[in-house]
Amino acid sequence: MNRVSFALPHLIGKEALYLNECLLSGQWGGDASFTKRCHAHLDLLYGASTLLCHSCTAALEMAAMLLRLGPGDEVIMPSFTFVSTANAVVLRGAVPVFVDIRSDTLNIDETLIEAAITPRTKAIFVVHYAGVGCEMEPILAVASRHGLAVVEDAAQAYRASWKGRALGTFGQLATLSFHQTKNVVSGEGGALIVNDPALVERAQIIREKGTNRSQFIRGEVAKYDWQDMGSSFLPSDLVAAVLLAQLEYAEELTRHRLSLWHAYDEIFKAAGHNGLRLPEIPADAAHNGHIYHVRFTNLDRREETRRKLVAEGIGGLRTMFLCILRQPGNDMD
């Protein structure tokens, strides 16, 4: 029986070539030649300073540090997201404030954000679920009225856009994921997009363990030392070598993913979907086909469908993350 897996990386051709080149170079640490080439590629795409990280989780933690979140601060975010969005805030001693999501896109309901703002609110974290953009204009307007930072968790949204503008370019900061389950992958990996020029230098320092090593490497200072809080957020250049091969063919990878997404959509619609709710894509959203999600009317039907698929060798049906309010970590003191 041919088995269908949940997610497999799509090799485009140069991954082994670049990986071997990196191995032979002897430069396996962070910020070597392949990382620099990835930075150049992403900087051009987003028109901003980008920094590779070892995960999107790390990029979110960097964002929280850059915003100087601390005890008592509140950060608004959707109640339906992966735990990394909340953990980045909790690790700074701040409090995630969860707002309900829209029933169509499963993104944060922009009409509920303003009511959740208090004198302690410092930022809004939005998540572009399944590569479908949030309603950014009203979100940015609310943030502007209240002097709040906006961070885009664009983990699933590489090469997706909203009204013709790339997701990841709206907030002061944004994060990307190149995890194996994503469209463009490096096994593990992520990036921080720094759209606010005032944050670029400090972002480099935080990423380099709180030191100004990046300036030292560029010859801007005679030595480097401890400047600020930080951690080791750099990925190995071996990871960057694999990522570069994927970035260079990202358009083809996205087209491939979209073709699979539309194939599922056509099949479900042709078969009839009584009792199922299929993805709803707003006209202003150019998504990247990252996830084809199906919502069931009840749990029993979902589990029955899962059992039948597994019996046919199909492991591609996964339950997405639960509402974060219903998870044990939400009860942490």
| DSSP per-residue letters across 94-141 | -EEEEE-B-TTT-SB-GGGTGGG--TTEEEEEEE-GGGPPP-HHHHHH
| Domain count along the chain | 1
Among 97, 201, 93, 193, smallest CA distance to 151 is for: 193
76: which strand partners?
A: 97, 124
Backbone φ and ψ for 162, nearest 5 degrees, come out as -130, 120
The whole model's pTM is what?
0.93
Sign of CA dihedral 232, 40, 156, 325: positive
- Domain with 238, as residue range(s), is 15-249
The predicted structure's pLDDT at residue 330: 64
Specify if 51 maps to a domain.
yes
Residue at 256 is within a domain: no
Is residue 301 domain-resident? no
182 catalytic residue (yes or no): yes
Mapped onto helix, strand or coil, the DSSP state of residue 302 is: helix
Q: What confidence score (pLDDT) does residue 329 get?
A: 62
Residue 317 lies in a domain: no
What CATH number has the domain bearing residue 129?
Answer: 3.40.640.10
Active site residue: 14, 122, 182, 223, which one? 182
Q: Going residue by residue through the chain (333 aa), what tens digit of pLDDT does each one get?
A: 567 777 788 888 899 999 999 999 999 999 999 999 999 999 999 999 999 999 999 999 999 999 999 999 999 999 999 999 999 999 999 999 999 999 999 999 999 999 999 999 999 999 999 999 999 999 999 999 999 999 999 999 999 999 999 999 999 999 999 999 999 999 999 999 999 999 999 999 999 999 998 888 888 888 899 999 999 999 999 999 999 999 999 999 999 999 999 999 999 899 887 778 999 999 999 999 999 999 988 888 888 888 888 888 886 666 766 667 666 666 665
The confidence score (pLDDT) of residue 317 equals 66
User: By C-alpha distance, which of 249, 285, 39 is closest to 156?
Assistant: 285
